[in-house]
Chains A and B, each alone.
Chain A
Amino acid sequence: MFLALHIFFKLYSQYNKPHKIKNFKSFGSLFPASLGSIGPSIRLLLQSRGQKLELNPSFRNFFLKPYTNKNSAARNLNSDTRVRVTVKTHLCRKNPNLIGKRSRSSFTLAMDFESNYDIATTADFIRTHKFTRVALQFPDDLLKDSTRVVSVLRKRLRSLRESDTTGSGDEPDIGLFVMADTAYGSCCVDEVGASHINADCVIHYGHTCFSPTTTLPAFFVFGKASIGLADCVESMSQYALTSSKPIMVLYGLEYAHSIQQVRKALLESSTFCTSDPKSEVHFADVPSPYMFPSKDTKKLNDLQEETCGCGDNSSSDGASGAAYSIGGLTWKLLEGQSMEDYSLFWIGHDNSAFANVVLRFNACEIVRYDATKSQMVADLSQQRRILKRRYYLVERAKDANIVGILVGTLGVAGYLHIINQMMGLITAAGKKAYTLVMGKPNPAKLANFPECDVFLYVSCAQTALLDSKDYLAPVITPFEATIAFNRGSQWTGAYVMGFGDLINLPQVQVGNQEEARFSFLKGGYVEDFENQENNVEEEREDLALANATEKALQLRDNCNSIIKGGAKSGAEFFANRTYQGLNIPDDNTTPQSFVIGRKGRAAGYEDENNKH
């Protein structure tokens, strides 16, 4: 997309003068052939947008969002709304080189490409569900392949249509649209972006968090990373021998394709003894790559179970044990067993999906097998630290008066429900909530709201964990907020990330409302506004006015007002700031009689006498 745009800018300036372009559609066809595969992509983009470029929100974003290429002359004025964009160097490479390389490559490589991007399955999916407008969502690092995917997919679809004899033959051409640079996390399906082009399906490429969608069906292409099968099986059986607990194998979705092989190889491996119950190895089910939206948020969990049902679940033997799902992986345990009885073996990178697993199953022993380096990583102290850090953030949040809810997703199913639930929770806790829509928060963006003591980031499970010490106020997840703002709930170590689990979280019955809240940050009891206010206000409603007057007449300590924790609402915070803005309230506020102004045109007002 960047590349395309970059060229677009150049082209535009180049072609602007000789050809007065009135129609962007025709402009698309103006691309010189030398641009190779980019032409179709841009054309596609433009086609999809009809006549006006402005129609596409993601395109519009490009114009509005600053473009932080160092070479770019465009200076970014509005950096408050800036989105951190990393332009990978390989993207900036000249495309012809890339293509040159590709063209030199053998036929097998092309086959690899097709299988890597699941072209056949994708095409089948589109055909069987008769989608006509399909959005292809690419993360930044896969954008370089987008044009090629489109062209291959298009070819494939065409050939499918031709071979399909049952169809009438005059079906409309299937529109393929490339979407890039999502406003929110690129791991989620960008439903809003897709709906701008009226797409009826989204094909999502690359790393995904598998968050359920609200309206659109989605198809996930995980990609296929290579894995040293023998080495992986070797490490796994090694680990199985040393571990005293049965092992549950979880993996990054990019390794989903080879899990069956790993499993087979493991069974065949002679060193592995299946009769020993201690060293049992279980595998999480490979998720099915498609997902259909669920209308009822309450059914979220059922949905996920369904999806797991259509995957090839050979491990589930119909036992009614607890079912688990995380980041697309699902598995069931035998009756009476819990995750604490298992050791986890993770195949994949140290990414957010893994961090998620570590947090969620923090009571389990976890090892990671790094497939790219073919080695085991057992030291996860850094990940363990995260949990403790989150615990601290919860304690911080308990002391907050003003909470900023950051809406970081508009796609993940149930997000509205969660936001409402959080609002209710915060209000019930006697705190003030403000809702802010913000994709990809960064310290500078959040520091624009210094009145917020804590931010609550509602987003998909894998982007939710924002913890950098650069943030002025901590950013917590909805689950942490539930603990922090629900009096009486305790941090037990259990950790939930998905909205589905969160909605179904049992409501903690507030046990001991009697006791004042103890703050570990201040090392003492702190007041809770709600308790106090309810009691006192009801009792002495007649005194309310007197109290208010009394307070209004009180001398307040106004210095250092910006210090956190003082204000109870945004308005109070602003009222306490030393700088009040340029409009210093005039003392002279008596109403003034109106005067009749001038009449007429600037060329000559009626009260002007000179008539030229």
Chain B
Amino acid sequence: MVKFTADELRRIMDYKHNIRNMSVIAHVDHGKSTLTDSLVAAAGIIAQEVAGDVRMTDTRADEAERGITIKSTGISLYYEMTDESLKRFKGERNGNEYLINLIDSPGHVDFSSEVTAALRITDGALVVVDCVEGVCVQTETVLRQALGERIRPVLTVNKMDRCFLELQVDGEEAYQTFSRVIENANVIMATYEDPLLGDVQVYPEKGTVAFSAGLHGWAFTLTNFAKMYASKFGVDESKMMERLWGENFFDPATKKWTTKNTGSASCKRGFVQFCYEPIKQIINTCMNDQKDKLWPMLTKLGVTMKSEEKDLMGKPLMKRVMQTWLPASTALLEMMIFHLPSPSTAQRYRVENLYEGPLDDQYANAIRNCDPEGPLMLYVSKMIPASDKGRFFAFGRVFAGKVSTGLKVRIMGPNYIPGEKKDLYTKSVQRTVIWMGKRQETVEDVPCGNTVALVGLDQFITKNATLTNEKEVDAHPIRAMKFSVSPVVRVAVQCKVASDLPKLVEGLKRLAKSDPMVVCTIEESGEHIVAGAGELHLEICLKDLQDDFMGGAEIIKSDPVVSFRETVLDRSVRTVMSKSPNKHNRLYMEARPLEEGLAEAIDEGTIGPRDDPKNRSKILSEQYGWDKDLAKKIWCFGPETTGPNMVVDMCKGVQYLNEIKDSVVAGFQWASKEGALSEENMRGICFEVCDVVLHTDAIHRGGGQIIPTARRVFYASQLTAKPRLLEPVYMVEIQAPEQALGGIYSVLNQKRGHVFEEMQRPGTPLYNIKAYLPVIESFGFSSQLRAATSGQAFPQCVFDHWDTMTSDPLEAGSQAAQLVTDIRKRKGLKEQMTPLSEFEDKL
């Protein structure tokens, strides 16, 4: 059954020009996994008959059950091209055999971290778009991610079968829909254009767009048809391709090509005339069981059916016929081989994105040239649970050199700083494995340009890492991945039986490993927290935790908890002062909100503690209207030294000020981590040190005196500057037919959401709605929405921004005050906020 062996695969791995690493990306439910099946079928791993039904890459039980992909799954395919089809291929190649390392990724936004991890280790992306639904929010997100990673995309317009069977649209209308889909995708790609990557837009006439029906396992590119007709019309293949798309019309009556519709009834667009209509005809004949008409047509097309297949009726017959005529694998694989880069091509321009170190050192060069003889550079992008409970495969891509069984590697974790020993381990690879769907095959070694799974390193890698040879001490790590979602939804977990705690601890450790996005931490109150990107994500994580990582030991989870931020609205009403415990030092301070957009700029890293002070002051003065000198007097950022709050020194001529700076900074890190309202992080607050009075004797102004005092004065200035809570807000995108709009609006209203964009998808009855929805209200939102719209609306939520809550938390009985009380109760703090008088002192 299996058409290829691990040995064959291993052999092609050395031909770096004959490798394609690609991921399949798309919006949820646009048919990635189904389409992947057809490709896998072509490689002979599953039977052609069931292709489209098995969803080979959905390896988990819950994936199959829910019908969505949760984890990205890698699969290596072997494909042999015919000489004839490779005739036009201009790039470098080594024989006709190709190795395709394909990664199927989830489409749901909650799992988009998986997509990020998949993109990192691939060079090309097959973007799947539903021909009816068109380009959706997640399509855009993944496209943006892909281009950010310098991944070259090709497009396939999927679910063609819907056009023929469900909607029964005519040729011209279908063409308009398809071209709009392609147009939309191109618009996005053009926005993120990158000079090094060149033109990344896709054109059907260039063969970078395919039309597919994943469910039925067929697909075509214009190349297929061009080949077919080229000989008939006696024109060049490429010329024919151009005619098959765009404003090219053919009138069979006159046998003339025109660039305008002549208006005669028989004049049709090339695409319609030569691609759409024939397919439609075949499908209709099959569906109507007009076998007497069918067989001659098939013979004309050069399609031969097996005798037992001739007995099929209706849909199965149609499926079989189409698969034989236009096999999805041929079209898609050809498209990938022709238009997606090989590792050696891709790494030439990707090296800049990948490597953190100097771009002219030997490691950068090895990556650039995809040099199998160079030093090992391997990026582990995710950990895959192994069948052996509790262990993981480290899944990644070899960018340079070779990784082999028994090789001693240097593991550089995400916190590794070159030259230091932090987050650095040396360990031997126990086994190198390549992934073939549900099976794994052990191989001796894997050269650069390939994906690989490593055994025996899981105890040192949390989520991702860079591996290199043991002796290569001066290698820099490969840049960490940037995720488009953030873990904003949190639940506290505890075990039902207290003595299961060690199991829980072990389980959380494994959970943290198994998913690139999930974060397992511990709260001040001693509760274990699991944070994920969304409700669905968390649900899956907790299920994994309980069933797989804790061996079924029961856990209790709290209701989802959302973390808030504390900010201020205004400048402090007065300069507040706090005295040190010995009453000999006084700190005067004011708080004010940071300028609009500054907090976001700090989040993004445009402004940060590591900047050159001169540059920083330039940005601050030009974009945010700061005083130039003042901008040089920023003492620190916080919390965690990088957060979106800062302390600025405004005092003049204060003695010993330098001495207490460290203590004030320490106090600030502490205070900005636990704000005065509910001990949530602060955000967007600028603290100005107005004046400082210090005791002349150094012993009386030591850390012991200043650190607690600084903390108190920060709190006091926060409380006097109209403190407010910030809540996280999702951007929700909902796609639904017109009649469901009423339900959507009413659910959104109930949930404090507001719609800011409503757009009808041209040519469809579908509406695209974009709305802001507070994260705290989002729990149960999808199910309510489904109920209110009888399942027609499907929301996608992505964290968007922090929104100020208008009510005053200091005013008893207000909504914010209630919220503060709840948070404090949950954290085991005193329910009453500490009053200002505790923080502020009188002179």
Binding site for B on A (CB under 8 A): 76-80, 82, 363, 385, 387-392, 395, 443-450, 469-470, 472, 490-493, 514-516, 518, 520-527, 529, 532-533, 535-536, 550-551, 554, 557, 559-564, 577-579
When the two chains form their complex, are residues A490 and B704 in contact, meaning their CB atoms are under 8 A apart?
no
Closest to B422 in A: A527
Q: What's the nearest-Cβ distance from chain A to residue B218, in Å?
A: 46
How far does the alpha carbon of A554 sit from the alpha carbon of B521 in the complex, in Å?
33
Which of B189-197, B267-275, B659-667 is near enough to bind chain A?
B659-667
Query: Which residue of the partner chain, among A76, A77, A559, A563, contacts B669 with CB atoms under 8 Å?
Result: A563
Which of B104-112, B437-445, B498-506, B716-724 is near enough to bind chain A?
B498-506
Q: What's the nearest-Cβ distance from chain A to residue B164, in Å?
A: 50
Closest to A385 in B: B828
Question: B494-514 vs A: 1/0 string, CB under 8 Å?
Answer: 000011011001001100100
B residues 604-649 near A (Cβ < 8 Å) are: 609-610, 636-637, 640-641
How far does the alpha carbon of A522 sit from the alpha carbon of B512 in the complex, in Å?
11
28 examples of A-B residue contacts, CB within 8 angstroms: A82-B581, A387-B526, A389-B525, A390-B526, A392-B522, A392-B525, A444-B581, A447-B707, A450-B707, A469-B674, A491-B505, A492-B502, A493-B499, A516-B425, A523-B462, A524-B413, A525-B413, A527-B423, A529-B421, A532-B425, A554-B419, A559-B609, A559-B610, A559-B636, A560-B641, A563-B640, A563-B666, A578-B658
Asked whether B1 is an interface residue with its Cβ less than 8 Å from the other chain, the reply is no
When the two chains form their complex, are residues A550 and B663 in contact, meaning their CB atoms are under 8 A apart?
no
How far does the alpha carbon of A554 sit from the alpha carbon of B474 in the complex, in Å?
12
Q: What's the nearest-Cβ distance from chain A to residue B670, in Å?
A: 7
Query: Which residue of the partner chain, among A389, A444, A470, A564, contacts B828 with CB atoms under 8 Å?
Result: A389
Asked whether B582 is an interface residue with its Cβ less than 8 Å from the other chain, the reply is yes
Query: Which residue of the partner chain, among A470, A525, A527, contacts B708 with CB atoms under 8 Å?
Result: A470
Asked whether B308 is an interface residue with its Cβ less than 8 Å from the other chain, the reply is no
6 nearest A-B pairs in the assembled complex, by CB-CB distance: A388-B526, A79-B582, A448-B704, A515-B459, A524-B462, A392-B526
When the two chains form their complex, are residues B499 and A450 in contact, meaning their CB atoms are under 8 A apart?
no
When the two chains form their complex, are residues A578 and B525 in contact, meaning their CB atoms are under 8 A apart?
no
How far does the alpha carbon of A363 sit from the alpha carbon of B521 in the complex, in Å?
25
Binding site for A on B (CB under 8 A): 413-415, 419-426, 459-463, 498-499, 501-502, 505, 508-509, 512, 519-528, 580-584, 609-610, 636-637, 640-641, 658-659, 661-663, 665-666, 669-670, 674, 697, 699-700, 702-705, 707-708, 828
The interface residues of chain B lying within 8 Å CB-to-CB of A523 are 462, 512, 519-521
How far does the alpha carbon of A147 sit from the alpha carbon of B702 in the complex, in Å?
41
How far does the alpha carbon of A523 sit from the alpha carbon of B519 in the complex, in Å?
6
How far does the alpha carbon of A472 sit from the alpha carbon of B460 in the complex, in Å?
31
How far does the alpha carbon of A363 sit from the alpha carbon of B461 in the complex, in Å?
36
The interface residues of chain B lying within 8 Å CB-to-CB of A536 are 421, 426
Q: What's the nearest-Cβ distance from chain B to residue A14, in Å?
A: 30
How far does the alpha carbon of A583 sit from the alpha carbon of B424 in the complex, in Å?
37
How far does the alpha carbon of A390 sit from the alpha carbon of B663 in the complex, in Å?
27
Closest to A520 in B: B522
When the two chains form their complex, are residues A579 and B661 in contact, meaning their CB atoms are under 8 A apart?
yes
The interface residues of chain A lying within 8 Å CB-to-CB of B669 are 563-564
The interface residues of chain A lying within 8 Å CB-to-CB of B426 are 535-536
How far does the alpha carbon of A493 sit from the alpha carbon of B505 in the complex, in Å?
13
The interface residues of chain A lying within 8 Å CB-to-CB of B661 are 578-579
Q: What's the nearest-Cβ distance from chain B to residue A491, in Å?
A: 6
Closest to B523 in A: A392
Closest to B695 in A: A77
The interface residues of chain B lying within 8 Å CB-to-CB of A524 are 413-415, 462-463, 512
When the two chains form their complex, are residues B636 and A472 in contact, meaning their CB atoms are under 8 A apart?
no
How far does the alpha carbon of A395 sit from the alpha carbon of B415 in the complex, in Å?
20
When the two chains form their complex, are residues A550 and B460 in contact, meaning their CB atoms are under 8 A apart?
no
Q: What's the nearest-Cβ distance from chain A to residue B104, in Å?
A: 27
When the two chains form their complex, are residues B526 and A516 in contact, meaning their CB atoms are under 8 A apart?
no
Q: What's the nearest-Cβ distance from chain A to residue B716, in Å?
A: 15
Given contacts A363-B498, A490-B502, A520-B520, contact A447 B508 (CB under 8 A): no
The interface residues of chain B lying within 8 Å CB-to-CB of A560 are 609, 636-637, 641, 665
When the two chains form their complex, are residues A493 and B501 in contact, meaning their CB atoms are under 8 A apart?
yes
How far does the alpha carbon of A493 sit from the alpha carbon of B702 in the complex, in Å?
39
Q: What's the nearest-Cβ distance from chain B to residue A608, in Å?
A: 36
When the two chains form their complex, are residues A579 and B699 in contact, meaning their CB atoms are under 8 A apart?
no
When the two chains form their complex, are residues B462 and A527 in contact, meaning their CB atoms are under 8 A apart?
no
Closest to A526 in B: B423
How far does the alpha carbon of A579 sit from the alpha carbon of B666 in the complex, in Å?
13
Q: What's the nearest-Cβ distance from chain A to residue B278, in Å?
A: 56
How far does the alpha carbon of A526 sit from the alpha carbon of B512 in the complex, in Å?
13
How far does the alpha carbon of A164 sit from the alpha carbon of B33 in the complex, in Å?
101
The interface residues of chain B lying within 8 Å CB-to-CB of A493 are 498-499, 501
How far does the alpha carbon of A491 sit from the alpha carbon of B459 in the complex, in Å?
21
When the two chains form their complex, are residues B636 and A490 in contact, meaning their CB atoms are under 8 A apart?
no
Closest to B699 in A: A80
When the two chains form their complex, are residues A577 and B519 in contact, meaning their CB atoms are under 8 A apart?
no
Closest to A557 in B: B610
> Given A385-B525, A448-B704, A532-B424, 14 more contacts at CB 8 Å?
A77-B582, A78-B582, A79-B705, A80-B699, A444-B581, A447-B708, A472-B708, A493-B498, A514-B459, A525-B413, A527-B421, A560-B637, A562-B666, A579-B658
Q: What's the nearest-Cβ distance from chain A to residue B230, in Å?
A: 57
Closest to A396 in B: B522
When the two chains form their complex, are residues B703 and A450 in contact, meaning their CB atoms are under 8 A apart?
yes
When the two chains form their complex, are residues B582 and A80 in contact, meaning their CB atoms are under 8 A apart?
yes
How far does the alpha carbon of A101 sit from the alpha carbon of B665 in the complex, in Å?
56
Closest to B425 in A: A516
How far does the alpha carbon of A518 sit from the alpha carbon of B662 in the complex, in Å?
30
Q: What's the nearest-Cβ distance from chain A to residue B488, in Å?
A: 15
The interface residues of chain B lying within 8 Å CB-to-CB of A78 are 582, 699-700
Q: What's the nearest-Cβ distance from chain B to residue A212, in Å?
A: 31
The interface residues of chain A lying within 8 Å CB-to-CB of B708 are 443-444, 447, 470, 472
When the two chains form their complex, are residues A579 and B526 in contact, meaning their CB atoms are under 8 A apart?
no
Query: Which residue of the partner chain, among A472, A515, A535, A551, contacts B419 with CB atoms under 8 Å?
Result: A551
Query: Which residue of the partner chain, among B499, B522, B662, contacts A395 with CB atoms under 8 Å?
Result: B522
Q: What's the nearest-Cβ distance from chain B to residue A275, in Å?
A: 33
When the two chains form their complex, are residues A80 and B462 in contact, meaning their CB atoms are under 8 A apart?
no
When the two chains form their complex, are residues A80 and B662 in contact, meaning their CB atoms are under 8 A apart?
no
How far does the alpha carbon of A422 sit from the alpha carbon of B663 in the complex, in Å?
29
When the two chains form their complex, are residues A521 and B425 in contact, meaning their CB atoms are under 8 A apart?
no
The interface residues of chain B lying within 8 Å CB-to-CB of A522 are 521
Closest to A472 in B: B707
The interface residues of chain B lying within 8 Å CB-to-CB of A491 are 501-502, 505
The interface residues of chain B lying within 8 Å CB-to-CB of A527 are 413, 421-425
Given contacts A391-B526, A392-B526, contact A446 B704 (CB under 8 A): yes
The interface residues of chain A lying within 8 Å CB-to-CB of B702 are 80, 448
The interface residues of chain A lying within 8 Å CB-to-CB of B662 are 450, 561-562, 577-579
The interface residues of chain A lying within 8 Å CB-to-CB of B425 are 516, 527, 532
The interface residues of chain B lying within 8 Å CB-to-CB of A551 are 419-420
Closest to B494 in A: A388
Q: What's the nearest-Cβ distance from chain B to residue A436, in Å?
A: 12
When the two chains form their complex, are residues A518 and B512 in contact, meaning their CB atoms are under 8 A apart?
yes
Query: Which residue of the partner chain, among B462, B700, B705, contacts A525 with CB atoms under 8 Å?
Result: B462
How far does the alpha carbon of A154 sit from the alpha carbon of B527 in the complex, in Å?
56
The interface residues of chain B lying within 8 Å CB-to-CB of A446 are 704
Q: What's the nearest-Cβ distance from chain A to residue B176, in Å?
A: 50
The interface residues of chain B lying within 8 Å CB-to-CB of A518 are 462, 509, 512
Closest to A471 in B: B708
Q: What's the nearest-Cβ distance from chain A to residue B830, in Å?
A: 10
Query: Which residue of the partner chain, among A82, A390, A447, contacts B582 with CB atoms under 8 Å?
Result: A82
Q: What's the nearest-Cβ distance from chain B to residue A539, in Å?
A: 9
How far does the alpha carbon of A392 sit from the alpha carbon of B581 in the complex, in Å?
28
When the two chains form their complex, are residues A472 and B525 in contact, meaning their CB atoms are under 8 A apart?
no
The interface residues of chain A lying within 8 Å CB-to-CB of B461 are 525
Q: What's the nearest-Cβ distance from chain A to residue B284, in Å?
A: 57
Closest to B828 in A: A385
When the two chains form their complex, are residues B582 and A521 in contact, meaning their CB atoms are under 8 A apart?
no
Query: Which residue of the partner chain, among B424, B520, B704, contacts A447 with CB atoms under 8 Å?
Result: B704
Q: What's the nearest-Cβ distance from chain A to residue B419, in Å?
A: 5
